[in-house]
A and B are shown apart, each in its own frame.
Chain A
């Protein structure tokens, strides 16, 4: 018996931890392609980039975790091939590992843009500790920053660059920021909030090319509308692609990620996948989803450890997310969708409010700014399947927190 886990992120470490926590005593090996102790990514685009921040990695688990729990960490090693008939994984160091259960926690990689100048010096992306150390070193001297993509990473970075007093332009080809993740009212509020922080947010405007200075470093960004923006530092944050090559080459089913069932099993019953790389049947939205978040990684990991040990229950945890952009803490419970009916609770002018998203007459998602109480209440309510209608939420004196207390009292 043995479990091999491919990947060194939140989900990989949590699977190993939860297996041990559930009494699994056989061999566990983690194969992580980045060298060093696996670390937490969320602070990279937030605290680490603030003028007071230091890019000092926060390990996901301490070094002694691996010896104490008898978990073998192979860092700086990648998996190159899966031999399914013989249940063997080939490694980049020439060795191979046999498995009873294989866990694919291969994560995602940054989507690259292919335009003239995209490989110039000064054009950065942000995913790894190395990336953030480069950015941390470059920011104090940067004057004109151009961010391509108004997603979470792009806007977290834009706010950090403003805190360094840089002139910041954000180019977004969509009509509103964070359009994939946020409801229209919340997205519009953030557009204005970033403009108020001094960010020049250019919507419906993509990147056409980057221009180089004499030394080969980036000097300007030219947008799809022909506008030219001076730039001595560029961050490209245009989303990620799931790492599916290993699964695909092994003949596993993939479609926007590695396809898994409700127990997080792939089309091979001895191989599982989870986290950023997994496409799973989501009970909280119609059809299948692939989610990129800490919650998704760790909750799926706890569930997957159970699946390996024979638990057949379906994964059903409520998705939740967060982002910190300058002074604004955005927290999301559930998955909002285009076409949701929205209701704003609280006063957006105070930067403390929530957007409630209703689908089919019931509350499906809540997006909150600087209101953790609303967020936590929403997680409890939606997670418990409590039916809250728009009419109820519109009643005078309605508060998510009070409603959640009623639930807690009833249980």
Chain B
């Protein structure tokens, strides 16, 4: 099963095993991971599932979409080159595991 590790700003990490195709946002919200809100239900409309992807996984990610790119300009925490929206990234064959850092705020 693919795994997702969410690391909180204080360094604590939680590793989840999820079904193939599960988005980071759905995994986080369904498992009560603090710091991922997903207010719009995964429509890339609210930018409250902002995560920082660890660089070693950058190549396995889907390309940044134009909508996602624009929404990332509106995140509560600072946008960096590692910023993505958790609702736009799914685990799967090309991404069997991933580690992401959760920003300090989403709203």
CB atoms of B70 and A59 under 8 A apart? no
Of the residues B29, B31, B74, B107, contact of A58 by C-beta under 8 Å: B29
| B9 close to chain A: CB less than 8 A | no
| A42 close to chain B: CB less than 8 A | yes
Interface residues of B in 44-65 (CB under 8 A from A): 44-46
- Chain A residues whose C-beta falls within 8 Å of the C-beta of B89 in the assembled complex: none
Stretch of B35-43, B76-84, B91-99 lying at the A interface: B35-43
Distance between Cα atoms of A298 and B32 in the complex (Å): 18
Among residues of B, the one whose C-beta sits closest to the C-beta of A302 is B107
Distance between Cα atoms of A294 and B44 in the complex (Å): 14
Of the residues A62, A322, A331, A373, contact of B30 by C-beta under 8 Å: A62
CB atoms of A64 and B71 under 8 A apart? no
- Within the complex, the shortest CB–CB distance from A144 to chain B, in Å, comes to 29
- Within the complex, the shortest CB–CB distance from A79 to chain B, in Å, comes to 26
CB atoms of B26 and A58 under 8 A apart? yes
Given contacts A331-B45, A372-B71, A376-B71, 18 further A-B contacts (CB under 8 A): A40-B38, A40-B41, A41-B41, A42-B40, A42-B41, A42-B43, A46-B43, A59-B30, A61-B32, A62-B30, A62-B31, A294-B39, A298-B39, A322-B45, A324-B43, A371-B70, A372-B67, A373-B70
Of the residues A64, A302, A324, A329, contact of B31 by C-beta under 8 Å: A64
CB atoms of A322 and B71 under 8 A apart? no
| B73 close to chain A: CB less than 8 A | yes
CB atoms of A59 and B29 under 8 A apart? yes
| A341 close to chain B: CB less than 8 A | no
| A68 close to chain B: CB less than 8 A | yes
Binding site for A on B (CB under 8 A): 26, 29-33, 38-46, 67, 70-71, 73-74, 107
Q: With A372-B67, A376-B71 known to touch, is A322 a contact of B32 (CB < 8 Å)? A: no
Among residues of A, the one whose C-beta sits closest to the C-beta of B45 is A322
**Contact indicator per residue, chain A 376-402, by CB within 8 Å of chain B (1) or not (0):** 100100000000000000000000000
- Within the complex, the shortest CB–CB distance from A155 to chain B, in Å, comes to 16
Number of chain A interface residues as a range = 20 to 34
CB atoms of A65 and B32 under 8 A apart? yes
Interface residues of A in 21-78 (CB under 8 A from B): 40-43, 46-47, 58-65, 68
Distance between Cα atoms of A40 and B30 in the complex (Å): 11
CB atoms of A58 and B30 under 8 A apart? yes
- Within the complex, the shortest CB–CB distance from B18 to chain A, in Å, comes to 12
Among residues of B, the one whose C-beta sits closest to the C-beta of A299 is B107
CB atoms of B70 and A376 under 8 A apart? yes
A-B contact pairs, 16 of them (CB 8 A): A41-B41, A42-B43, A43-B43, A47-B43, A62-B31, A62-B32, A62-B33, A294-B40, A294-B46, A322-B40, A322-B45, A331-B45, A370-B67, A372-B71, A372-B74, A376-B74
- Within the complex, the shortest CB–CB distance from B4 to chain A, in Å, comes to 14
Interface residues of A in 307-333 (CB under 8 A from B): 322, 324, 329, 331
Interface residues of A in 264-317 (CB under 8 A from B): 294, 298, 302
Among residues of A, the one whose C-beta sits closest to the C-beta of B68 is A372
Among residues of B, the one whose C-beta sits closest to the C-beta of A324 is B43
- Within the complex, the shortest CB–CB distance from B39 to chain A, in Å, comes to 6
Interface residues of A in 66-109 (CB under 8 A from B): 68
Of the residues A41, A68, A329, contact of B67 by C-beta under 8 Å: A329
Distance between Cα atoms of A379 and B31 in the complex (Å): 31
CB atoms of A61 and B74 under 8 A apart? no
Among residues of A, the one whose C-beta sits closest to the C-beta of B67 is A372
Distance between Cα atoms of A61 and B40 in the complex (Å): 13
CB atoms of B41 and A43 under 8 A apart? yes
Among residues of A, the one whose C-beta sits closest to the C-beta of B33 is A62
